[in-house]
Chains A and B, each alone.
Chain A
Amino acid sequence: MKTSQHNDKPMPPKWAMRFFYWYCNDHLADAVIGDLFELYSRRYTKLGKRKADILFIWNVIQFLQPFAIRKKSNTPLNHLAMFQNNFKIAWRTMTRQKMYTAIKIGGFALGLATCILISLFIKHEVSYDKNYKNGENIYRVYNEMAGSDGGKWTSFPASVAQILKTDYPEVEKSGRLIPYNWFNAGNNLIRREDQVENTYEEKFAYADQDLIEILQIPLIYGNLKQALAKPNTIVISKRKADKYFPNENPVGKSLVLNEDKSKLFTIGGVMEDFPISSHLQYDFLITLTGVEFWPGEQTSWCCWNYNVYIKIRPDANAADLEKKFLSMKDRYYVSYLKETSNQSIEDVKKYHKFHLQPVSDIHLKSDGIYDEIPHGDIRYIWLFGGIACFILLLACINFINLSTAKSANRAKEVGLRKVVGSVRGYLIRQFLTESLFYSFVSFAFALMLVFLVMPYFNLLAGKTLLIPWTAWWFFPLLILAAVIVGVLAGVYPSFYLSSFKPIDVLKGSISKGSRSSKLRSAMVVFQFTTSIILIIGTFVIYRQMNYILNTKVGFDKEQVIMIQGANTLDKKQITFKNELLKLANVENVTISQYFPVDGTKRDQNQFWRDGKSKEEKGVGTQKWYVDADYLKTMGMTLKEGRNFIPEMASDSQAAIINEAMAKALNLKKPVGERIMNWETYNVIGVVDDFHFESLKGEIRPLCMVLGTWGNIVSVKVSTDNMNSVINAITKTWNTFMPTQPIRYTFLDESYARMYDDVQRMGNIFACFALLAIIVACLGLFALSAYMVEQRNKEISIRLVLGASINSIFKLLTQNFVKLVLLSFVIAAPIAWFMMHKWLEDYVYKTKITWDIFVISGVISVMIALLTVSYQSIRAALANPANSLRSE
């Protein structure tokens, strides 16, 4: 081994050696490396290369000790002056190349602004329900039905809260909440007892005294222990107290709901407004004390309408408690099912479970739990976070690309500095200072951008975020982030730039910045891949939205005005309806509580074929009370049978069912069959399936029976001048209800609002796509400018020799177009997969067709081409003499 081995001379890993030289002081470096080398070649023959390598690296690491580490340079350096000089140079380079600087900083600022916004958004989303006292002991109870037609939902029978408290000692408190439109929960007309004008208010909910104690809702007036303890009490939020009782303590005063003077609500307390980071957002909490919606409602297990929150003892274990709760099922629910000989008893025994969900999980981790509370989705948090990171990465890539591309311009500087005596470390420090400088300037711009864009973002995301200027962590965190990003983006360029050998540079033999062109291409591909994925995503989401808005939903949603809050008309409803029908352009009027859009009443009934309730499983069905004009007004079509005829006495027991129900009940010839829940109905017609719930799910069974009363009067009009019709309707309304202002919505708008989240998602994606493409294009533009600059002479000579403008243009652009095409090839399958996953949420969905890909591909190529062509055309049109003359 001592003999000279020429070719297979054992060589320890180079990088480890370089690392050693980097940290080790000069006194030891050569001697120790020599020793290690000797040891290495000894091991090499004995143990083989791999082991020898590993041991070598281990040795190098062992030497990382104070005695071996390079001491600080003892040459007296004026660090401040150096820094000032670095700063000055950075400033000069920035101002000398205004376009590149603008692109670097602009791209950076865009990326950073996106990141800051998204971070604030995510921070807000994860901050939900974190601030309750003893929050870790507060849980929401929910049901799970395992098995094929299972599901998760949060509503329980009225008695469950009490049962949990008395039967399970681990449960300290349990309180109920009714969060959805049901009796007075939801929205109401409201007035002070001593005033006459009614106002429409939303955000009513029923709550137990225990609930506000569990959540420790802070009260401004009133006593938390008694606020909802008495029947017919109500707690109102501070903002509503200020509205109705400015500058006074409203506790003890009374409110009238929906003109029902027989039941006044006494204010038991004024609570702080719910923080925006609470999953509960109510202005009025009506007590459940003494409430019984119908006889026996509070004790029966028939009807599941209450959400239950519990606070458990600190020493209790939630998982154990879940299992213990099963005994409640056997004791109460199963015996109820037995009494009523319900067919689902076996399924319940086998599959029904209870779960506890920590209150802080409700906002983000309620996917699949049916609770009628709007919440966020943890998947979107990940998605947005990912996209934000990607956009920041794109911005960093721009920075790196431009810095290395422009390296030729700095090469002379580097060379000269080295000749004059600068070591690599100083140069690295110089370039890092420069990139930090860029980073800080970009952060300042980004912050401004965030400030300007915040209102629009809030609109887009449906949030009310603020920039936490005054929070102690905000600026330190920003500065930290600026440093990290600056170093991250600057580390490669600074190592790259400082690596030039002075002799090459000064001789002029350095290939001008072409060395890393492969890396640059890879980065461009990465940027465009991200952009194209986002473009395709945007297209698919908008497609789906379009599909939702334009698909045949089974009813005619155009030109239908829904007059809300008409329940106060009471017995005058029919007269009102007849008056409306007299107006010009009014085609049809119907009164009901049930309409095929969100925000109207829903219920859940079990239906059977007549006489089969003991033998068959019931079919979960919506039972809608409508009048005879309903089908006509809504533009629904009958598949068979006839509409209601109110004059026929027997039609009070008639039902029109939808196709889904006919199928679910297995009725071959539905018309003439009899169906039952607690009453029996004759099926007189089958209506074509129409969507009355989100397109995410199948159309479910529905049955309409004749009713005459409702809180919404829907008016089908046919006019080009909507305003005049609305004026006429308003006038009629005012003659009936002078103290109550009219409130109306349009059916199509209400329908569209059901899909706000899709719309929102689409808009957000569009913004992201736009941002990504802008950042990518900024980079591409600068790169092409640089390339043209580099090949200036070549182009001039080509032009002189007779190249056409066309061929020059092709020469300069084809490379970039190729890169974009490559990006497209990479992006298309990824995008397809992602969007396919997204669409899986919907039963009714648009197809992902090839044209989306073609359009996205063409768009991205066009954008890239446009970006590059400005520089290319300019180069091709330039007078070759200009660039050839100088030299």
Chain B
Amino acid sequence: MKGTYLGEFEELVLLSVGILFDDAYGLAIVDELEKQTGRNVMMSSVHKSLVRLEEKGYLKSQLGGATASRGGRDKRLYTLTQAGKKVLSDSREMRNDMWKQIPKIVWEGGKI
């Protein structure tokens, strides 16, 4: 289990990589996460997750896309691997499964 376990933040990062598609690099992911979740996101934690996700095989990366505002430095561009896509959909399926199991009464009654 340990190897495939996906933390909440990691999942969000994976999703952002998917959303950004061909321009998924550190800062863009930070921006995306802040936009989507409204949270304050630390750059270092994003990079940390990216490194770990790459180690787990959910992401792969290459360098490219240097601009002047980056001081001429390359970005590390991330893309989802097959395994990455699978883990995302697995996670969504599991959630859906669990959603379905919540009895209706919970939503309607409201009082316990």
Contacts and interface: CB of A to CB of B under 8 A. Distances in A.
Contact of B26 (A1, A27, A31): A31
A65 B48 contact: yes
Residue of B68, B70, B74 ringed by the most chain A CB atoms within 10 A = B70
Nearest to A28: B47
A2 interface: yes
Interface in B59-111: 63, 66-71, 73-76
Interface string B35-49: 000000011100110
A37 B48 contact: no
Contacts of A41: 69
Contacts of B20: none
A33 B44 contact: no
Contacts of B56: none
Interface string B10-27: 000000000000000111
B76 A28 contact: yes
A719 interface: no
A38 interface: yes
Interface string A28-42: 101111111111010
A4 B68 CA distance: 7
Interface in A28-69: 28, 30-39, 41, 59, 62-63, 65, 67-68
A35 B44 contact: no
Contact of A31 (B25, B30, B44): B25
Given A62-B44, A68-B47, A35 B71 contact: no
Contact of B51 (A28, A33, A59): A28
Contacts of A30: 63, 73-74, 76
A713 B35 CA distance: 103
A62 B42 contact: yes
Residue of A32, A34, A62, A65 ringed by the most chain B CB atoms within 10 A = A34
A34 B73 contact: yes
Contacts of B26: 31-32, 35
A35 B70 contact: yes
B25 A35 contact: yes
Contact of B69 (A27, A32, A38, A59): A38
A736 to B, nearest CB: 96
Interface residues of A, number: 22
Contact of B73 (A37, A39, A62, A63): A37
Contacts of B68: 2, 4
A9 to B, nearest CB: 9
Contacts of A27: 51
A37 B71 contact: yes
Contacts of B70: 34-35, 37-38
B51 A67 contact: yes
A2 B66 CA distance: 13
Contacts of B44: 59, 62-63, 65, 68
Contacts of B30: 35
Contacts of B75: 31, 34-35
A63 B47 contact: yes
A27 B26 CA distance: 13
Given A1-B69, A2-B68, A2-B69, A35 B63 contact: no
Residue of B30, B52, B75 ringed by the most chain A CB atoms within 10 A = B75
A559 B27 CA distance: 94
Contacts of A62: 42-44
A4 B71 CA distance: 10
Contacts of B51: 27-28, 67-68
A32 B75 CA distance: 8
B17 to A, nearest CB: 14
Given A30-B63, A62-B42, A67 B25 contact: no
A33 B68 CA distance: 13
Nearest to B77: A31
Residue of B26, B30, B74, B75 ringed by the most chain A CB atoms within 10 A = B26
Contacts of B47: 28, 32, 35, 63, 67-68
Residue of A32, A33, A35 ringed by the most chain B CB atoms within 10 A = A35
Contacts of A2: 67-69
A35 B28 CA distance: 9
Nearest to A31: B76
A232 to B, nearest CB: 83
Nearest to B78: A31
Given A59-B44, A67-B48, A31 B74 contact: yes
A65 B49 CA distance: 12
A37 B43 contact: no
Nearest to B49: A67
B43 A39 contact: yes
A35 B47 CA distance: 10
Nearest to A63: B44
Contacts of A38: 27, 67, 69-70
B40 to A, nearest CB: 13
Nearest to A3: B68
Contacts of A33: 71, 73
Contacts of B43: 32, 35-36, 39, 59, 62-63
Contacts of A1: 69
A2 B63 CA distance: 21
A33 to B, nearest CB: 6
Nearest to B54: A27
B37 to A, nearest CB: 18
A619 to B, nearest CB: 80
Interface string A293-324: 00000000000000000000000000000000
A27 B52 CA distance: 13
Interface in A15-35: 27-28, 30-35
Nearest to B71: A37
A37 B68 CA distance: 10
A31 B25 CA distance: 8
B53 to A, nearest CB: 11
Contacts of B71: 33-34, 37
Contacts of A39: 27, 43
Nearest to A60: B44
Nearest to B65: A34
Contacts of A31: 25-26, 63, 73-76
B67 to A, nearest CB: 8
Contact of B52 (A35, A36, A59, A67): A67
Contact of A37 (B25, B42, B69): B69
A222 to B, nearest CB: 73
B74 A34 contact: yes
A31 B50 CA distance: 12
Contacts of B52: 67
A742 B24 CA distance: 103
Interface string A364-395: 00000000000000000000000000000000
A291 B26 CA distance: 91
A88 to B, nearest CB: 41
A38 B51 CA distance: 20
Contacts of A59: 43-44
A38 B72 CA distance: 10
Interface in A56-104: 59, 62-63, 65, 67-68
Contacts of B48: 65, 67-68
A54 to B, nearest CB: 15
A601 to B, nearest CB: 80
B31 to A, nearest CB: 10
Interface of A: 1-2, 4, 27-28, 30-39, 41, 59, 62-63, 65, 67-68
8 contacts: A2-B68, A30-B63, A31-B73, A33-B71, A33-B73, A35-B30, A36-B43, A62-B44
Interface of B: 25-27, 30, 42-44, 47-48, 51-52, 63, 66-71, 73-76
Which 5 pairs between the two chains have the least Cβ-Cβ distance?
A: A34-B73, A31-B76, A34-B70, A35-B26, A62-B44
Given A33-B73, A35-B26, 14 more contacts: A2-B67, A2-B69, A27-B51, A28-B51, A28-B76, A30-B73, A31-B26, A33-B71, A38-B69, A39-B27, A62-B44, A63-B44, A67-B48, A68-B47
